[in-house]
Copies of this chain bind each other. A is one copy, B any other.
Amino acid sequence: MMTARIHVTLKASVLDPQGSAVTKSLHALGYDEVADVRIGKYLEVKVNTTDRAVAEERITEMCEKLLANTVIEKYEFQLVEA
């Protein structure tokens, strides 16, 4: 069993309205030191695989096909034994 810790984030060139809203809310709460907020997704995917190379290939496929919208998002992941 392995766990893939996947981060899916907007590409740097893509506007993040959700992050802007959170920035404004934090300012309204008095956190004036906040310069920028970017919001992404974090997924933990457990797979019944023991072969790390196979797992990496399959997780990459899953990201490309379903988990990330590669037009506007990028993804990265670490595989850990679990």
Task: Tell me the count of chain A residues lying within 8 A, CB to CB, of chain B.
Answer: 33
Do the beta carbons of A42 and B1 come within 8 Å of each other? no
Do the beta carbons of A35 and B47 come within 8 Å of each other? yes
**Contact among B25, B44, B49 with A66 in the assembled complex (CB-CB below 8 Å):** B25
0 or 1 for each of A47-71: is its CB under 8 Å from B? (1 = yes): 1110000000010011001110000
Q: Is A15 an interface residue (CB 8 A)?
A: no
0 or 1 for each of A1-41: is its CB under 8 Å from B? (1 = yes): 10000011100000000010010011001010111111111
Query: Can you name 7 A-B pairs with beta carbons within 8 Å?
Result: A9-B44, A26-B66, A29-B65, A34-B45, A38-B44, A39-B42, A42-B42
